[in-house]
A and B are shown apart, each in its own frame.
Chain A
Amino acid sequence: MTDQTFPPAKPDVVVIGAGWAGSIMAKELTEAGLNVTMLERGHDHSTAVEGTYPGSIDELRGAVRKRLFQKLARTSLTIRNRPDQTALPYRQLAAFLPGEGVGGAGLHWSGCHFRVTEDDLRLRSATIERYGQKFIPKDMHLQDYGISYGELEPFFDKAEKVFGTSGEASSVQGQKTGRGNVFALDRSSHFPLPPMADTFSASVFRQAAREAGFHPYSMPAANASQPYTNPYGCQMGPCNFCGYCSGYACYLYSKASPNVNILPALRQDKRFRLITQAQVLEILLDDTRKRATGVRYIDLKTDSEQVIEADLVILSAFQLHNVHLMLTSGIGKPYDPVSQSGTIGRNFTYQTITSSRVWLPENRCTNQFVGAGGAGVAIDDFNQPGFDRGRAGFIGGSPVWVNQAGLKPIAAAQGSGGKGSPRWGGAYKAAMIDQYRHSFSIDAHGSNMAYRDVYLDLDPTWRNAYGQPMLRMTFTWKDNDIRMNQYVVRQIGDIAQAMGATRTSLNSLLPGQLFDSRIYQTTHLSGGVILGSNPKTSALNRYLQSWDVPNLFVIGSSAFPQGMGYNPTGLVAALAYWSAYHIRQTYLRNPGPMVHA
């Protein structure tokens, strides 16, 4: 039940990573009667310490000095835009912010908790059906999940009940409610909590979008709109829109996290053991290389190497680390962009997000300090399957939303001025105040497709603190996604006009623009260990089971074949519950490959 500095007795299952995916798998597998040991490289985290008020909302310590994020001094990755370049290490967190410690990124996330559109799970088939094979650009690796929405629905439903998600259903068991997202797929039950209230900015956007003929809805938020007790008996407090979600542990227990929503129940289970400060270096295989025997890790408390054996290994670290550990363990074949062979590192994707800003007259206060990470009003008109991409000329899509998440003082000061406006003095102050009180942002939160020469592999030069080759990211923006972003941002401009904006600053990607790792984009990285139906193009079968090592399951957004418009956590959680369900129903009764290639 508690931390140990020596290797414990052999558990049935070892789970790598204590974020959402790992906590869900550990909960499910202990429920199945198995002894589960979960390894986490970082420290334990709790609301009583990291979320204690008012220290928890110290912006300097939190978002600026990256209190809850990955410590790059020990492990990082290298980044380049194109295969002909030399990659260099990511030395300062900026573009994306992986978590570290118990809860992982699930502790410092915002709480945007989406399902999927129907096409997200079968994008290749849907694109060909609607627009023909030729519509797919050369070197775009479009792929289906091989799981239908109907199959995943019970697991989306379960995850929302565990997370205490606030939202408004549009269709429940075939009954239309007349509210919510008209494009959303049918649900087996309502959200467990009513939607979060609109901030003023969200209500302005809701009205303008509706008047422009779009279909606004309340974003589903894993921020509790009311006190809540989940099926595990874990309780949440209600959100007060303090604005300290992303980058922080919620002091009100109202943002869903593994720490608040799953681990309180799990920690009481004698079959569960959590070992923190355990940096896993390798998944161990037997001589056949077809069976995992356990993991090798460094106990950071004693700086000693340890081995822990198990019958079943769940790899559920952050997306980048899942890929890295597969590569360092020599499981599966590394992806080669020249021959397009191999699967590990293939279909690495991201999201294509830009944020535009509108200013309202001085008599309309948006009060940017107010906010909740998952709350807001969105439109799916450019993300839903029926939107005509043939005319627009791109694959993918983008929800558009006002997600006023709470602008903190330092971020507000840094975000004002520039682009021709003064960066100091009275004019800067006036502009900053105007922006803080009367403006708000509208985001285009778009998909990102997979491409032949966008991938992850091991860096030939740079090594981490443990002597292992670092992961190397080869990534840049591609024409299809830039076109998608530009199209959607143009629509934002029209809506902004309808709101009576006094000024608008539209931001979109430019043709040929390169990915810049120094500027925050999003932490929604995906792919690299993707699921699919063909072992030549996917690392996992539809149950997230490794094709190569059947007693290894790799859970997380690393399984996504391409990046979608929605935030990934909802799908990560649903896939975890889906995989766990099939492990319990099928695998445990008859361990071995669940799909024969």
Chain B
Amino acid sequence: MSLFLRSTGTKRTSPLRPLLTMGLGLLGIVAATLPTRPAQADDAPLPAGLIEEGHYQAVLGDCAACHTQPGRPPYSGGMPFKLPIGTIYSTNISPDPVHGIGHYTEAEFARAVQLGIRKDGSALYPAMPYPSYARLNKADIHALYVYFQRGVTPQPVDPPANGLIWPLSMRWPLHIWRWLFSPSIQSAQLRTNNQFSDPILARGAYLVEGPGHCGACHSPRSITLNEKAQTAKDGPLFLSGGGVVEQWVVPSLRQENRTGLGRWSEQDIVDFLRTGRSRTGASFGGMTPVIVHSAHAFKEADLHAIARYLMQLAPARKETPWVYDPTTTDMLRRADLSQPGAQTYMDRCAACHRTDGAGYGTVFPPLAGNPIVMTDDATSLIHIILAGDSMHALPTAASAFTMPGFADTLSDREVADVVSFIRQSWGNNSSPVKESTVKHIRHSIPQAETPDQLPKN
């Protein structure tokens, strides 16, 4: 499993990709020799709105994140995952009978999505988050099936062929993983559905633990790569923060005061998911594609249900509450730049993030009290200073602000100093970082966006 380090490619990639790497390739080898039937032969009238509902389920589940590669037709797969053992590609899940999943019955579709078993009986890599999708109820699975059979255009194209070396290309060991770590549909649904009597919290639990599969990134995984907790009921490890994915730290979504969502309001969470920006922080790194493909299009009521559910997750760790400390602000306003990193902060950061670290609303995010600034692991902060990042234009928020990268203009020492400065100012009180850490991250971050990929405003 340690072979699955990280993938390269476009930034549109899901943060799940290193895990997906394990699961892809399977559907693609679907036998072309099987008897086929035209995917859209069944033209019986559908209940009104069912396709739209199925589309919404696909948005909730963020299917496009892995199965739609920019520059290729929707759901035709082909997203590359470069591994030390070769490159594999996500599969075509359009209803083409030969190249896609047009020949799947609804029961076979449900078995693949919820239990990780292909039509031919072999196992999917668990990067396909079927342990989460197991929680999908029958109606939602039905809508999703109808959508993928009749709402999506069949794409008669194959993703590029996988190039994995035997014996690593063998799939049968995955059945053991599945048997050990993946719940049955019944137990998964029972566990998620019986937690809350409040219908809003129950809906939130369903969305977060089920289609939203938030835990895939935000929950810690064990050495065998299973999520250590899959529901709120499973204890405080659930959504308590994942590891480092593509040199981005996946933060906790629980109520820790400093490094979780403890100081975010319900509206902050809703704004963040809907527009990629809130007064408390802006999306960057691996979360941005999730918002671009998926979260921004959630219904208002669903966003509030998610927020309310997250807000009742007790902290996994006790943290001294963050309190704003004006010392740094006062120093900078006196033009006292004696602290290491202060000069760089003034020259490179303060125009947007201000000398008081407060930023400017939803335009430039705050650094004072921002959870991602205070996580134990400072990788994200170092990464974004080196590489920069961009918000994306969304129907819910047209402006795509860009933070420039400073890899070309700041040395490892300067980056370490300014990161330490930010982590220790305004009450953030977090540990400083070493020059060697910056050096390591500089050499391991994925390639930055090319000018063509940058936002146009």
Contacts and interface: CB of A to CB of B under 8 A. Distances in A.
A309 to B, nearest CB: 27
Interface in B355-408: 360-364, 390, 393, 395, 397-402, 404
Given A233-B398, A264-B398, A227 B457 contact: no
Interface stretch (A252-260, A281-289, A298-306, A546-554): A252-260
Interface residues of B, number: 25
A233 B456 contact: no
A227 B456 contact: no
B399 A234 contact: yes
B316 interface: no
Contacts of A53: 348, 351, 404
Interface stretch (A74-82, A235-243, A315-323, A413-421): A235-243
B321 interface: no
Contact of A235 (B362, B395, B456): B362
B38 interface: no
A74 B402 CA distance: 32
Contacts of A265: 398
A259 to B, nearest CB: 6
A234 B361 CA distance: 14
B455 interface: yes
Contacts of A242: 351
A236 B455 contact: no
A264 to B, nearest CB: 4
Contacts of A49: 451, 454
B73 to A, nearest CB: 16
Interface string A247-274: 0000111000001100111011000000
Nearest to B393: A264
Interface in A173-200: none
Nearest to B402: A48
Interface in A200-228: 227
A44 B400 CA distance: 15
Interface string B8-22: 000000000000000
B399 A253 contact: yes
A235 B363 contact: yes
A46 interface: yes
Contacts of A467: none
A73 B397 CA distance: 39
B398 A268 contact: yes
Given A237-B363, A260-B399, A46 B457 contact: yes
A47 interface: yes
Kindly state the interface size class of chain A when it binds its partner.
Answer: 20 to 34
A235 B399 contact: yes
A234 B457 contact: yes
B456 A252 contact: no
A49 B457 CA distance: 10
Question: Is the contact region of chain A dominated by helix, strand, or loop, or is it mixed?
Answer: loop
A232 interface: yes
A251 B402 CA distance: 9
A553 to B, nearest CB: 26
B277 to A, nearest CB: 9
A227 B362 CA distance: 8
B409 interface: yes
Given A47-B402, A233-B398, A268-B395, A263 B457 contact: yes
Q: Which of B347, B399, B454 has the most CB of A within 10 A?
A: B399
Contacts of B361: 227
Interface string B203-237: 00000000000000000000000000000000000
Nearest to B395: A268
A54 B397 contact: no
Given A46-B457, A263-B457, A52 B402 contact: yes
B320 to A, nearest CB: 31
A252 B454 CA distance: 16
A44 B457 CA distance: 10
A232 B397 CA distance: 9
Given A236-B363, A237-B352, A268-B393, A259 B398 contact: no
A52 B404 contact: yes
Contacts of B401: 47, 235, 237, 253
Given A48-B454, A49-B451, A252 B397 contact: no
A227 B165 CA distance: 54
A268 B351 CA distance: 29
Contacts of A233: 397-399
Given A53-B351, A252-B352, A260-B399, A47 B364 contact: no
A225 to B, nearest CB: 12
Contacts of A264: 393, 398-400, 456-457
A46 B452 CA distance: 11
Interface in B328-342: none
Contacts of B454: 46, 48-49
A263 B456 contact: yes
B393 A227 contact: no
Interface in A76-117: none
Nearest to A226: B360
Nearest to A259: B457
Interface in A323-373: none
Interface in B234-281: none
A237 B393 CA distance: 16
A347 to B, nearest CB: 36
B349 to A, nearest CB: 10
Contacts of B360: 227, 237-238
Given A235-B399, A268-B393, A48 B363 contact: no
Interface in B156-196: none
A234 B394 CA distance: 11
B398 A234 contact: yes
Contacts of A234: 398-399, 457
A222 B360 CA distance: 18
Contacts of A227: 360-363
A46 B351 CA distance: 19
12 contacts: A46-B457, A54-B348, A227-B363, A233-B397, A235-B398, A237-B352, A237-B363, A237-B364, A240-B351, A253-B399, A253-B401, A268-B393
Interface of A: 44, 46-49, 52-54, 227, 232-238, 240, 242, 251-253, 259-260, 263-265, 267-268
Sorted nearest first, the 5 A-B pairs with minimum C-beta distance are A48-B454, A48-B402, A264-B398, A235-B399, A264-B457
Given A48-B390, A233-B398, A260-B457, 6 more contacts: A46-B402, A49-B451, A49-B454, A53-B404, A235-B399, A264-B456
